[in-house]
A and B are shown apart, each in its own frame.
Chain A
């Protein structure tokens, strides 16, 4: 009996999903960005296999071949230690995507429950959580990250923590707003009436229904986080050499700019395309998931 009930609850969800995919198909810009995003993830996973010079990613150097322009052997030229830039940019996809996912994930882990609790419970808990959120939001974002990294020391892991700590307030606000409007809905009131414990209401009813705007925000934030990590590395506070992180590469490339222009262009292009793709995806997802569009 239980299994049938479960399948019954799934049916409308599957229908929604199918409808979403249909809308996705119609909006070609979003569709294209979706496919490119998948391509990026594949690149990240298989970068070492695809790279023409996998050793150059971190383990080898070839200093006599330094700063050569793009050729058919080195598509993007070589860097100051003679390493193949194409291989490093490719691997950089993995670095950036991993960092972005972990940072956003951590921010979600902190922000979503806080927002759900604040919105559902209301009262003084809400006030306290909101004030804490405001405090964090008042910090200029990079300044907070810089301060945290100054304490913890530079490095990619610490940069991730710093970013997560700057980013979580946005999700809290978002989820809280959603939770407040959810509270009034019939099914929540029904659950309350039959005496469901509060935490179950929060996590089984409210959170799942606030997911869509969070997903949209999170996918758009992927782009923002990648830019922030690049900026931190650019300032020397994020990835340390020899990690092939795009921001770090651009920062290093400045010493050789504009003679070795290829060194700045290609990593920068990689950042731009990746961030663009996630922004387009997020923007498109928002239109798809927007109830108004779905009505039409």
Chain B
């Protein structure tokens, strides 16, 4: 067991190194002159030369690469060409809002998706099954940016129920001291008991959150349904039934427990796609998160930022996969 974990960690590190290498190569291939960008539009050639030396751009590529990797191991992701701040600081500012969105969206997905999947499985091939199957596949087929626009149209313009965008309203920002513990407003204000900010933040997060949650809801519902169906056909369930156990007991205690593992894993794997959706939704709701940060970095060809974000997300992904793999290893009953 321990051997397996160590092996997986080593492999994870190799993959990470591969990601770093490829990101490095791509960043170097993007046509732009980082030294000129650092100095500014009216740079003189001598200033650019100076900047090149400072930024280490005159060193041979392998040396640059080694420097970059060494910096990485110390947690230094370089300095953004645009904000002039260390990328790590930028990430610290922009990750919490995105994390807030994604975590809440996943929570909603689980709360709504699992019961939906259970109903589908119970009523297999009846009308409800077809309808909910249509719904969950539909949820997965919707273009997120389209849905976002729609929600804005209906809930902001027509009904005036929710705010248009942003995380909190203008007045709250100026009039109140915002608590900063994790940077996630809902959590922070809840924990410090600041109810005005809590309500304000909650109202602002609902629309973008629900928009992002649609895809995972569909995914979770389908996964739960198919996993449950498979399990319900297993022998030990038939055995339990033949012993006269109540159907609901069978369903909840035996069957359901075993679907949760696959659901968690499928959610993890959908993280990539969900992040992409979050990115688009952040643009439409003016949400100051990682998506917006990446958008601006791409637009300004700020390669340290782009690399920083890529490496961060790749690391997270590899980490989560590692955790998922270890869970599978620990409990052989989980099969995808």
Binding site for B on A (CB under 8 A): 29, 131-132, 134-135, 137-143, 146-148, 150-151, 223, 227, 230-231, 234-235, 247, 250, 254, 257-258, 261, 264, 268, 271-272, 275-276, 279-280, 283
Contacts and interface: CB of A to CB of B under 8 A. Distances in A.
Contacts of B317: 137-138, 140
Given A29-B133, A254-B149, A271-B143, A139 B19 contact: yes
Chain A at the B interface: SS class: helix
A264 B146 contact: yes
B145 A151 contact: no
B104 to A, nearest CB: 20
Question: Main SS of chain B's interface residues?
Answer: helix
B153 A258 contact: yes
Given A131-B18, A276-B138, A280-B137, A140 B280 contact: no
Interface residues of B, number: 44
The 8 tightest CB contacts between A and B, nearest first, are: A268-B146, A135-B18, A275-B141, A276-B141, A138-B314, A142-B276, A134-B15, A140-B313
Interface in B6-28: 11, 14-16, 18-19, 22-23, 26-27
B306 A272 contact: no
B149 A150 contact: no
| Residue in B157, B272, B294, B313 with the greatest tally of chain A CB atoms within 10 Å | B272
Interface string B197-237: 00000000000000000000000000000000000000000
Interface of B: 11, 14-16, 18-19, 22-23, 26-27, 29-31, 130, 133-134, 137-138, 140-143, 145-146, 149, 153, 157, 272-273, 275-276, 279-280, 294-295, 298, 301, 306, 309-310, 313-314, 317-318
Given A230-B143, A258-B157, A271-B146, A29 B279 contact: no
B175 to A, nearest CB: 31
B275 A140 contact: yes
B231 to A, nearest CB: 13
Nearest to B14: A131
A151 B149 contact: no
A149 to B, nearest CB: 9
Given A150-B30, A151-B30, A276 B137 contact: yes
A135 B22 contact: yes
Nearest to B142: A272
